[in-house]
Amino acid sequence: MQELNELHRLITKSFTQIIGKDLEDDVPTDAATLGAAIKFLKDNSVTADPADAEDLNELREKFKEAAARRKNRGLSVVGKAEADLSDDDLNVMQG
User: What is the reported pLDDT for 73?
Assistant: 75
Q: Give, for all 95 residues of the chain, the pLDDT tens digit.
A: 899 999 999 999 999 999 999 988 989 999 999 999 999 999 999 887 766 677 778 878 888 888 888 777 776 766 766 666 655 555 555 55
User: What is the reported pLDDT for 18?
Assistant: 96
User: What is the reported pLDDT for 26?
Assistant: 87
State the Cα torsion 18-26-74-29 to the nearest 10°.
20
User: What is the reported pLDDT for 77?
Assistant: 66
Using an 8 Å Cβ cutoff, are 29 and 22 in contact? yes
| Sequence-ordered list of residues with C-beta below 8 angstroms from that of 29, at least 6 positions apart, any chain | 18, 19, 22, 23
